[in-house]
């Protein structure tokens, strides 16, 4: 079981990404604008996030279309897809506590939450 003090400690030091992910890369919005990501948990600013607009959405949609059409995932052998998905699962298990803190930080009053992480 993870304690409230441990959740608060992790939430206080974790560095959250502030850029958009487009074509597999972190990058600022086309305009360079950002907005404050405020947690409803206590009203504090968690971080600043890329303020994406239509140009960013268009770039992301075009990148997704390219990835679909060039077959980089579709044409992978099922064993390679399995390897990639299991690697993702391993990373999620490794960072389960951090992922839980990030989700709880966004939505919950940590004082009312108890969570067991394997």
**What digits encode the pLDDT tens for the residues 25-72?**
999 999 999 999 887 777 878 888 999 999 999 999 999 999 889 988
Q: What is the pLDDT of residue 4?
A: 62
Question: What percentage of the chain carries pLDDT values higher than 70?
Answer: 80
DSSP of 84-103: HHHHHHHHHHHTHHHHHHHH
- Picking from 56, 54, 58, the residue whose alpha carbon sits closest to that of residue 66 is 58
pLDDT-derived band at 117, boundaries 50, 70, 90? low
pLDDT at 3 over 80: no
Domain contains 117: no
Give me the number of domains the chain comprises: 1
Query: Residue 88 belongs to what domain range?
Result: 4-112
Domain contains 21: yes
The sign of the torsion formed by the CA atoms of 56, 59, 65, 68 equals negative
73: domain CATH number? 3.40.605.10
- Write phi, then psi, for 21 (nearest 5 degrees): -105, 110
């Amino acid at each position: 079981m993870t304690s409230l003090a441990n959740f608060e400690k992790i939430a206080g030091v974790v560095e959250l990404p502030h850029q958009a992910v487009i074509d597999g890369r972190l990058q600022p919005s086309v305009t360079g604008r950002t907005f404050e990501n405020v947690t409803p948990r206590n009203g504090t600013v968690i971080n600043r996030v890329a303020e994406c607009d239509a140009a960013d959405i268009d770039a992301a949609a075009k990148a997704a279309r390219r990835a679909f059409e060039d077959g980089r995932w579709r044409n992978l052998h099922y064993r390679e897809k399995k390897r990639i998905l299991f690697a993702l699962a391993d990373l999620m298990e490794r960072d389960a506590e951090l992922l839980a803190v990030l989700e709880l930080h966004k939505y919950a009053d940590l004082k009312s939450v108890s969570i067991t992480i394997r």
